[in-house]
Structure formats: structure tokens, C-alpha cells
Amino acid sequence: MDKLVVNGGSPLDGPLTVGGSKNTALPLMAAALLADGTSRITNVPDLRDVRTFSNVIRVAGPTVTFDPGAHTLSVDASTIDHPVAPYDLVKKMRASFYMLGALMGRCGEAKVSLPGGCAWGPRPVDLHIDGMKAFGADVELEEGYVVASAPGGRLEGGSFRLEPSSVGATINLLLGAVRAEGPSRIENAAMEPDVVAFGEALQDMGAQIDGLGTRTIEIQGVDQLSPTTARNTPDRIEMGTFMLMAATAGAPGDPVEVRDGAHEHLGQDFKDWLGQTGVDVEYGDDVVTVTRPDELRPVSIETAPYPGFATDLQAQWTVLLGLANGTATVTDTIYDDRFKHVPELQRLGVDISVDGNTATVHGGQPLRGAQVMSTDLRASVSLVMAGMVAEGTTHVLRVYHLDRGYEDLEEKLRAAGIDIHREEYEEFQEPEPEPEEIA
Ligand code: EPZ
């Protein structure tokens, strides 16, 4: 297995360049299945999740070609002859569940494994299933699979309210509705930039969609969609992560540039709260300049659907609070138990306690390097961040979680002044017990 080894204490002097968005690339890939022919997506990051989803798509019949150097991915969806997403792949990545909408939209039938739990809780898919039923699908659960079919081979369309609002369910329902027989309506739809960029790509393919970026999306189904060439958006979570790295590991008073992101996708809460910590941020078109102050002020945050503070940035904010002078809280209103990074940050010396969905951080304690364990993608990057400012060496184990969503992180950080490298290691395994003697 791989680990990242960070020798803390060297300031981040930038610049850091933001790559293509993981959470937009995946639905764009799913959208390609709706058209008979080859669609191309540019600015696709070379990530484990992109490769996993390519394999999920290949199982159904299409050909997926990825040029990681050029960050270009093609999906030839001329043939879809096996509308199935198997457990072995879906369990690796929840977003594989987008195959439900894509296959229902294209083929009117789908057999997609239920994703199961994830590191921080159950994460249900009831809204995806109930929404698909509301749009006219017959749905059965068989041996861990969702087996869906549209009577007559095509969804009718319908109306469905998402409660709570869900990124994934909005995407799945859009995938199904754009090729339905009739009109559809999604209420309390997700307004995340990932959903908007994906919906705009569908519009380019010929889909009729109104209300993207608002709480109510209306769709008029069409008979056919055409293949497209879509440019993936910059990754807003990578951008926010880099800004928080600059805010914590930058030398006080020295500006660090974060390039090629789309700061309008960060949401206003993130910008406002970061400003309140005393960090100076200048927002330019392609460059955001972040300057760490001498002293960080503690600012409490609460996650919320876009344009609120992204749950995918709360672990990184926790590290900032660990360095601030005073006490503040992180409340996650999207997930009840997304705090697997907390015990690991405690090992590095951060003073945190968790009560329900709120973490309280008493900042200002010195951080010291240690061996810590990645448990999920954003937790992993928070551990790297903490290692960058800790005294001594931090070993972040099981870095495969991080490889799901950050392309070349250690190369990017090394080029920006951080002492970090990747090493292989053996994980200690309990020895097999001696077989019992059978008389
Ligand atoms: C997306 O997950 C992102 N993943 C997540 O990013 C992100 O944390 C999340 O949105 C919230 O912003 C991708 O885009 C691939 P949801 P998704 O459905 O779509 C509840 C990362 O780190 N819910 O918007 O699965 C759910 O439990 C990842 O990159 C139901 O109750 O999230 C949660 O409380 C991790 N029933 C809330 O809705 C459902 O059927 C929002 O989840 C579906 C969701």
C-alpha cells in the first residue's frame, strides 16, 4: 500500500493549480450514455474514481477511452447491450449508481447494485428509487440489486420532490427524465455547480431543461439526444482545499496563488467565513490570492447544500480551527457522522471533541507529526494539511482514499515548497491463528 510522508514546517509558497472536477466529470460520463455515438469530455482529472466509473460503463457495453495526459475522455455509447452495474464495482464508488438514471434514460431498463454503506454512515438511495418510480418505472429489489424497467420501454415522466435535497438523486432523475415520453418536474432540486454543468451538457445534447441552478427543474422529454463535446468544470472542492492549505501553511504575510479554479462555485458562506478568520483573499478571474495572517481567528461553520458551506470542505476547515487562537465549532447538517478524521487529528495534537453532528475545536495547541490513517477522501486531505504544519514527520497511511479525488497532490505540493513524498509500505496483518489440532 502507499502512504504519504510529510515533513512539516516548510511554508507553502504556491502556486497551486486546480484540476477538473471529480463530481462533475462523473455525471458527464453518465450523460454520454444517453446518446448513440461518441461523446468527448475534456479537463477530466486522472483519478481513481474516474477509472472506476469507466469500468462500470464498460460493463454495459460502451467503449471508454481515457488519455490521462491530455485529460480527455471519450465514451462511444453506440452499443449498450448489458444494462447492468455489478456489485463489485458499485461498492467501490457510490456514484456508480448514476447508471440507474443513465440506463433507464437510454434503454428503459436497468439492474444496478445498491451501493451499501460508506465510511461515515448509511447514505441511503431511497430518493433515487422513489423518484424513478414517480417517473413511471417499475422497481423491484432483488438480491441487493435495484431492478427497474419502464413499461413500453420508456419512462413516462412525472413529478417528484426531493426531501432532503440531493445532488445524486437530482442527477439520476435528470438522466431518466430527459428522454422520457412526457414532461417531468424535480422539486427541491440540488443547485450545486456540478449539477448545473451536467444539466448544461445535457442541453447541448438536445435535452429540454428549465430551471437549472434553482430549486425547481422542469424537463420536457425528447426522443433522441446527440453526442457532445463537453468541457468539465474546475474542481471547487480542490480549490477550497488549496485555499485552506494556503490559509494554514502559507507564511504569514506572503500571498499564495491558487490558479485556474472557479471561485464563484465556492459558495458565499465559505468566502465570508474565510474572510472572518483574518485570511486575506483577492478573487481574480483565474487566480485567487490567499494570504495567511499572523494570527487566525476561530470561526464556527455549518455545512449546507449549495450555496452553503460544502460538507466536502469541513474536515479541512477543522484543521484551520486547530491553528486558530480560541474555540469554534464545525456542524455538519448534511451527514450526521462525518467525523472519522477527528481521532486521527487528535493523534496529531488537535484538541477536538465531537457531540452529535458538531465538532468543537480548541485551537492553538502545537501539532506534532504521527502515523495516521486515512478513512475517506476528505479526511485524508485534512491529515496531509495537518502534517504540513505539524512539527516533525507525519505518515498518512492508506492514501488510496486520497487518490480517489486529488490528482498528483504530492507533486503539486512539492512544487509549492512542501516536503512530501509517497512511499510503499506493508500493513501489519494479524498472524493467522494456528489450526487447532483435531484429535
Ligand atoms: C454528493 O454525494 C457528492 N458526491 C459528495 O461528495 C457530497 O458530499 C454530497 O453530494 C453532498 O454535497 C458526488 O457528487 C459523487 P446527496 P451524494 O445525495 O449525491 C441524503 C466527495 O467527498 N439522501 O446530495 O451521494 C444523504 O444521506 C463526496 O467528493 C437521502 O436521504 O449526496 C445526505 O444526508 C463525498 N436519500 C443528503 O441527502 C437519498 O436517496 C445529501 O446527499 C439520497 C440522499
The per-residue pLDDT for range 343-382, each reduced to its tens digit, is 999 999 999 999 999 999 999 999 999 999 988 999 999 9
> pLDDT-based confidence at 439, cuts 50/70/90?
very low
Look at residue 434 and tell me whether its pLDDT is greater than 70.
Answer: no
Please say if 107 is a catalytic residue: no
Minimal-distance CA residue to ligand 1 atom 33: 334
pLDDT at res. 438:
45
Of the candidates 36, 39, 64, 38, the residue with the CA atom closest to the CA atom of residue 50: 64
Q: Mean pLDDT score of the chain, rounded to an integer?
A: 95
Beta strand extents in 297-350 (DSSP E only): 301-302, 327-331
C-alpha 166 to ligand 1 mean position (Å): 6
Enter the DSSP assignment of 433.
P
Q: How far is the CA of 250 from the centre of ligand 1 (A)?
A: 31
pLDDT band, very low/low/confident/very high, at 117 (cuts 50, 70, 90): low
Query: Cell for 42?
Result: 475534456
Grid coordinates in use for 10? 516548510
CATH class belonging to 2-19+234-424? alpha beta
Residue 168 alpha carbon to ligand 1 centre in Å: 6
pLDDT in tens, 305-334: 999 999 999 999 999 999 999 999 999 999
Contact 150, 100 (CB under 8 A): no
Q: Name the CATH topology of 22-231.
A: UDP-n-acetylglucosamine1-carboxyvinyl-transferase; Chain (3.65.10)
Which of the residues 59, 84, 114, 118 is marked catalytic?
A: 118
Give the global pTM.
0.96
Q: In angstroms, rounded to a whole number, what is the distance separating the alpha carbons of residues 155 and 136? A: 5
Domain regions of the chain by residue span: 2-19+234-424, 22-231
CB 190 within 8 A of CB 166: yes
User: Angle at the Cα of 196 (from 195 to 201), degrees rounded to 5?
Assistant: 100
Q: What is the dihedral of CA 262, 264, 267, 270, to 10 degrees?
A: 70
Q: Do domains 2-19+234-424 and 22-231 have the same CATH topology?
A: yes
Do 38 and 65 contact (CB within 8 A), yes or no? no
pLDDT in tens, 382-407: 999 999 999 999 999 999 999 999 99
Output the residue whose Cα is nearest ligand 1's atom 14.
Answer: 23
